[in-house]
Amino acid sequence: MSARLIAVGVGPGDPELLTLKGARLIGEADVVVTPVGDRSDASIAHSIVEGMIDPSRQQLISQVYPMKRDQEGLDAHWEKSAAEVAALVRSGKTVAFITLGDPFLYSTFLYLHRQLRENFPDVAVEVVSGVSSINAAAALAGVPLGLSSERLAVLPATYEEDELTRTLEAFDTVVLMKVHRVFHRIRDLLDRLGLKDKAVYVKRVGLSGQAVFPDLDSVSPGDLDYLSLMIVKK
């Protein structure tokens, strides 16, 4: 294989939702880089690929996320990560970078991608798409994201209320990310808009503890997980 960085989306968490192409390229790579750290999604990506590596001919690098969430620390992390990956590719290695879900949709890979494009434009990048947690959550909940003429919006639940209201009114299906942070505010908003019974909360799809809550009132504080989302389908 030619030296390059391959971003492999391993899907939402179920190791079987990896694509055939992703599995092949992880097996063929000289170096496999996975993020590990305090955030549970990082370690999950690591655990999915750990058993697929042949240590006799492949190198497994775990890039540790910074513990603190400050922007400066994150920027420094991704600068270092990009430099490490770029050096490996420039030395002739094929490097697979593992990320949960799809590399181009709300993934940690996008921070590395931006650093590479800005500072190492000579490094070839290939993206192998993966199943997004959005699609997997819809499948688990039995709620289609959209028929052919429908409109779908995906946005963080942390937007201001006016913005959320406009979107909920205009679109047929709305997926709210990061909903664990503002769950009660969202539930109240949906109630006021008459949409509470059109919503379903999905927690940790494809992972241990996965659950679907068609009744938002049955969601307890312990169910508010970082890896969760809400689908509102009119």
Residues that bind its own copies (CB under 8 A): 9, 11-12, 14-21, 23-24, 102-106, 110-111, 113, 125, 127-132, 135-136, 138-139, 142-156, 158-159, 163, 166-167, 170-171, 177-178
The CB-of-131 to its own copies minimum distance in angstroms stands at 5
Which residue number, 59 or 105, has a Cβ lying nearer to its own copies? 105
What's the min distance (Å) between Cβ of 190 and its own copies?
A: 18
> Nearer to its own copies by C-beta: 139 or 189?
139
CB of residue 220 to its own copies, shortest distance in Å: 26
- With residue 138 as reference, give the H or E element that holds it: helix 133-141
Helix or strand holding residue 201 (H, E)? strand 199-203
Residue 18 or 190: the one with the smaller Cβ distance to its own copies is: 18
The H or E element that residue 153 is part of is: strand 152-156
At 181, give phi and psi (nearest 5°).
Answer: -75, -30
Of 114 and 184, which has the nearer Cβ to its own copies? Answer: 114
Tell me how far, at minimum, the Cβ of 215 lies from its own copies, in Å: 19
Which residue, among 209, 165, 226, has the nearest Cα to 191 in the 3D structure?
165
195 burial (CB, 10 Å; 0-12 / 13-18 / 19+) is middle
Question: Nearest approach, Cβ of 187 to its own copies (angstroms)?
Answer: 21
How crowded is the C-beta side of 31, counted as CA atoms within 13 Å?
21
Q: Which is nearer to its own copies, 92 or 142 (CB)?
A: 142
Distance CA 213, CA 229 (A): 11
Q: Give which of 7, 6, 12 is closest to 131, Cα–Cα.
A: 12
